[in-house]
Amino acid sequence: MTSNNMIYLVSTLDTKGEEIVYIKNLLAEKNLSCKIVDLSTQPHAFNHLADVSASLIASFHPEGSGAVFCGDRGKAIVAMAKAFELFLSKQNDIGAILGLGGSGGTALITPAMQSLAIGIPKLMVSTMASGDISGYIGASDIAMMYSVTDIAGINVISRKILSNAANFIAGSILFKKQEVVEDKPAIGLTMFGVTTPCVQTVSAQLHDQYDCLIFHATGSGGKAMEKLADSHLLHGVLDITTTEVCDYLFGGVLACDDDRFDAIARSQIPYIGSCGALDMVNFASPDTIPEKYQNRLFYPHNPQVTLMRTTPEENQQMANWIANKLNQCQGYVTFIIPEEGFSALDIKGGAFWSPDANKAFIEEFEKTYMVTEKRRLIKVPYHINSPQFCDLIINEFKKIMK
């Protein structure tokens, strides 16, 4: 077995010791190597179960173990999470990681999981997995498994769940495929259902030369793409669908955060951007829409997704926000505006066709965006999903990649 096949089993042993040992024994039956890591926020109590004690983990905190064992549960969880992340960054034998936790344990374990490279198997068995888990997953590839009952002993339910968790993580080690050396440089593209024709056409045309990674612009999709850019795993970005900004600024459910576009500035990666789906804010079912928006124009995408058309004032605000972000970029940046519509709904005769809203975006963007030798702006009389726009995107991308 290679040196990076160690499975890290992580929990707070003062409350989840029996369950972690149960999983370790199941993995031992498959001759898999494991380390039990204790993240209890009290020292020394469960050293007999742990391969890595809570005291050792706490010592990795920049302010020492006293910052963790402080007697304040909330502060201790934050501090131990930081210490565990730093501990994990020093380990070179990680094959996979499995965590068990309730609300506190999940908050302790998942930040460190997020810091690990994409592709390292990460499974979090949690009582919190049935709700909004975006805060736990971030832009990583963490898998969440709902524990059904509280993680409080071995019983008829937990035995099944924990066995499934053990088999999940065992399979990720036993059936791990060797990495295929990929000669093509990877590029990132952002896509939404209403920009799919454009992104698929562009991807198909660039596929022979580039490894095209398409990210669904759902908030986490943009974060994942920019995480790869920050890690220098992408050679270029085709950010055709910047719709996450709508949700961030106006309270939608598929929002980016304030860091959107900052990875482009930090990495100076070659960048093509556009206005994909800036005509819409995403909400869930109609009964979830904030009262202040009740008189707006909506489109029912499906029973669980309701789209709201952005107004001229909102487009002006988005243009200013995006332009100011891109003004911080010192690498090659080209922003291309399709004047005939930003999405499949924003087209002449379409449900969201609004020339005034688009005009507001264009005028504010032109006013705010600082054109330089490397930072260019192109306006074209095409729709975003038109063949002409796709051809232009491809040609401009090839220019900045030379």
- For 316-341, the pLDDT digits (tens) are 999 999 999 999 999 999 999 999 99
202 pLDDT exceeds 50?
yes
- Which amino acid is located at 115 in the chain? S
CATH top class, domain 6-174: alpha beta
Give me the mean pLDDT over the 21-31 stretch.
Answer: 97
- For 68-115, the pLDDT digits (tens) are 999 888 899 999 999 999 999 999 999 999 999 999 899 999 999 999
- For 349-362, the pLDDT digits (tens) are 999 999 999 999 99
> Residue 138 has what pLDDT?
87
> Residue 179 has what pLDDT?
67
> Residue 4 has what pLDDT?
78
40 pLDDT exceeds 90?
yes
186-400 adopts what CATH topology?
Rossmann fold (3.40.50)
343 pLDDT exceeds 90?
yes
Of the pLDDT bands very low, low, confident and very high (cuts 50, 70, 90), residue 45 is: low
Topology agreement, domain 6-174 and domain 186-400:
yes
Residue 245 CB contacts under 8 Å (≥ 6 apart), including other chains:
256, 260, 278, 318, 321, 322
- For 262-295, the pLDDT digits (tens) are 999 999 999 999 999 999 999 999 999 999 999 9
Give me the mean pLDDT over the 39-55 stretch.
Answer: 85
Residue 219 CB contacts under 8 Å (≥ 6 apart), including other chains:
134, 244, 247, 248, 253, 254, 255, 256, 257
Q: What angle do CA 95, 100, 102 make, to 5 degrees?
A: 150
Tokens 């952002």: give the residue: 190
> Residue 93 has what pLDDT?
94
215 pLDDT exceeds 60?
yes
Q: Where are the domains of the chain?
A: 6-174, 186-400
Residue 373 burial (10 A CB sphere; 0-12, 13-18, 19+): exposed
Three-state SS sequence of 243-299? CHHHHHHHCCCCCCCCCCCHHHHHHCCCEEECCCCCCEEEECCHHHCCHHHCCCCEE
- Which amino acid is located at 38 in the chain? D
Contact 299, 306 (CB under 8 A): yes
Give me the mean pLDDT over the 184-206 stretch.
Answer: 97
> Residue 139 has what pLDDT?
85
Average pLDDT along the chain: 94
Residue 283 CB contacts under 8 Å (≥ 6 apart), including other chains:
252, 253, 289, 305, 306, 307, 308
Percent of the chain residues past pLDDT 70, beyond the cut:
98
Tokens of 6: 């160690």
2 pLDDT exceeds 60?
no
Give me the mean pLDDT over the 124-147 stretch.
Answer: 91
